[in-house]
Structure 1
Amino acid sequence: MPDSPALLVIGECVADIVRLPGEPDRTHPGGSPANVAYGLARLGRDTTLITQLGPDANGRLIADHLASTGVRVVTDGSAAPTPAATVDLDAEGRATYGFEITWTLGPVEPPGGPPLHVHTGSLATGLEPGARTVLDLVEALRATTTVSYDPNVRPGLMGDHTAAVRRAERCVALSDIVKASDEDLRRLYPQDTPERAAEGWLRSGPALVLVTRGAEGVTAFLPGAVVNLGAPSVRVADTVGAGDAFMSGALHALAAHRLLGERGRARLRSMDAATLTDVLRHGVASAAVTVRRAGALPPDEEELADALTSAPFPEPSG
């Protein structure tokens, strides 16, 4: 889609080494921001990823994976090894993670003109020294583009809890759209409910806070309203990349409704109920396709269109 608005994703690539009881290890390209970039490109969006890839087998695997959908990959030329994660799946497909991660991203100039929208989050905004590069770039672009953020909290890499919350809140304040799982919010704010935490984030500046709830769907928080949308029932292979697929599906719909970019920012803040429902359905349907198969493999345009028409969605509720 050559005339598509340019979407810029900033963040880590990770080689996910998936382990199932009694089966050989399988290596999948992963990393939350990379998954979002891949998902957007599969949906026909012109997408660039600024990241860090090592000159190793995992780096080549991920680079080929991203290139297969047309994602432009821009790196800082670092020789640091490609980050890796072990993903242990239980009998129900639920994932727990272990990490071998360094994030040392240096200054990188985005190619071309200013992007329409920037997405970031996960380890890229939580691990120094690379997190400083990411935040500096987001702050530099913020005046002319919309920003989305997904903390994708990993307890083993969170570090000091108070500092992790402070970093997350700074990213939220820079963002127009924030997506977090209810589990993310419980980890960051164990003393609060996810609802109260999301409402606090909304007051700090974003136009939209999306809280994903796994099989229960999603809750959207926006000024003056809370909207719930349930998820269709599907057979789960695993949950790897489900939240990232939700994010790419939702951003795809927001772009289609012209709610991204400097000109879209005001419309985003006055989004009507029908448009919001369409955005939520795109996110939930994208995640539903992904969990039906192994690894972080989000839908393409045809698969998402089919999921939107064939899956029985409950009506949204306030």
Structure 2
Amino acid sequence: MIGEALTDILTGPAGVHGEHPGGSPANVALGLGRLGHPVRLATRIGRDRTGNALRAWLERGGTELLPGSVGDVPTSSATARVRPDGTVGYEFDLVWDLAPATVEALRSGPPAHLHIGSVATALPPGADLVLAATEETRPRATVSYDPNIRPALLGDRAHERARVEHLVALSDVVKASDEDLAWLYPDEDPDTAAARWARLGPALVVLTRGPRGARAWWRQGHLDVPAPPIRVVDTVGAGDSFMSALVSALLRRDLLSGGGTSATAATRARLREATGAGALPAEVVEALRYAVRAAGITCSRPGAAPPTYEELERPPV
């Protein structure tokens, strides 16, 4: 995995609620680790107080940091302002780049699946390194992508659309929120945009829709997956929990993975076959339900706290 790790500073009408480790790719890494998968993360963390907390949080969750990911730099932060309905707006103090040792580790490592997304794919100078690593890795690993749009950090909308669509075309599975697509395509319905993305290259495009659950698109159709009723504490990290659980479920069904050119080609073919008909097979539908449930559990507690494998395997109450 490649992407930012930072400290989420939660605030609301009453002031600061607390600090939580976070960053979208780091949350996905933690989620996959809690679900029992070995994870290697290329990121940028300082040796300061918040950086030490981030590193310990990731390591406890089963995430290995690639060489060069920790350095003598300030650890980035995002101030998450929780609104009365539990939704969140963000302000960032963030620098994104990768150390030369981390770039070399990405080239030499044996990824079985690559996840990219969020600020790491958008903010220079590191975004160009992420794109190059994705293009280099794609022949030997399947790819998932979550644009996780942060308008405060982005430039011209047309430029961002082109960048995002290029990464969509390189990916096998894409997850985006309806808010992401509304920003990218303000004059177009998010469903229309998601359906078009499904024709750009991915086998599966999933649109998350908050309390309405998710809608999955593939070349031949779409499917709604409703969200279970929950008491929302906040939505921090919900989309990342969805992403990690979806990737986990597809990995366990041998629909994502890799490990070499021929193995990746065979896995990619299985995923395309599974999404090549008018209806999704049960294994993909169950993976989507698993992801929706993971997001719901995260919304029911504060901060980016993805569920463990044991929590998700427990029958819903």
After TM superposition, the score normalised by the length of structure 1 is 0.92
2:251 maps to: 255
User: Following TM superposition, by how much is the alpha carbon of 1:78 offset from its aligned partner in structure 2, in angstroms?
Assistant: 4.3
> Please, which runs of 5 or more residues in structure 2 have no aligned partner?
258-263, 275-279
Once the two structures are superposed, residues 39-95 of structure 1 have per-residue CA deviations (whole angstroms, 9 ceiling, x without a partner) of 000011111111000121111110010011220012535433111010111222111
2:187 to 184, 191, 195: 191
TM-align CA RMSD: 1.4
The answer to whether the 8 Å contact 1:142/1:174 transfers is yes
Separation in 2, partners of 1:160, 1:106: 27
Separation in 2, partners of 1:24, 1:86: 9
User: Following TM superposition, by how much is the alpha carbon of 1:180 offset from its aligned partner in structure 2, in angstroms?
Assistant: 0.1
1:101 maps to: 94
Separation in 2, partners of 1:114, 1:196: 36
User: Following TM superposition, by how much is the alpha carbon of 1:190 offset from its aligned partner in structure 2, in angstroms?
Assistant: 0.6
- The one-letter code of the counterpart of 2:89 is T
Separation in 2, partners of 1:221, 1:164: 22
Percent identity reads: 46
- The one-letter code of the counterpart of 1:296 is A
Once the two structures are superposed, residues 240-293 of structure 1 have per-residue CA deviations (whole angstroms, 9 ceiling, x without a partner) of 000000000101100110001213111111214201211101110100110000
CA spacing shift, 1:104–1:113, aligned 2, 3 Å: closer
Q: Does 1:133 align with 2:129?
A: yes
Q: Does 1:243 align with 2:239?
A: yes
User: Following TM superposition, by how much is the alpha carbon of 1:111 offset from its aligned partner in structure 2, in angstroms?
Assistant: 8.3
The answer to whether the 8 Å contact 1:120/1:150 transfers is yes
Separation in 2, partners of 1:279, 1:264: 16
CA spacing shift, 1:233–1:255, aligned 2, 3 Å: same
1:5 maps to: none
2:148 to 133, 145, 152: 152
Separation in 1, partners of 2:284, 2:27: 23
Q: How many residues align?
A: 301
Q: List 4+ stretches of structure 1 deviating above 4 A.
A: none
The answer to whether the 8 Å contact 1:33/1:122 transfers is yes
Separation in 2, partners of 1:295, 1:119: 22
1:270 maps to: 273
User: Following TM superposition, by how much is the alpha carbon of 1:160 offset from its aligned partner in structure 2, in angstroms?
Assistant: 1.5
User: Following TM superposition, by how much is the alpha carbon of 1:112 offset from its aligned partner in structure 2, in angstroms?
Assistant: 6.7
Once the two structures are superposed, residues 132-157 of structure 1 have per-residue CA deviations (whole angstroms, 9 ceiling, x without a partner) of 11111111110011000000001101
Secondary structure of 1:228's aligned partner: strand
Q: Which moved more, 1:10-19 or 1:77-86?
A: 77-86
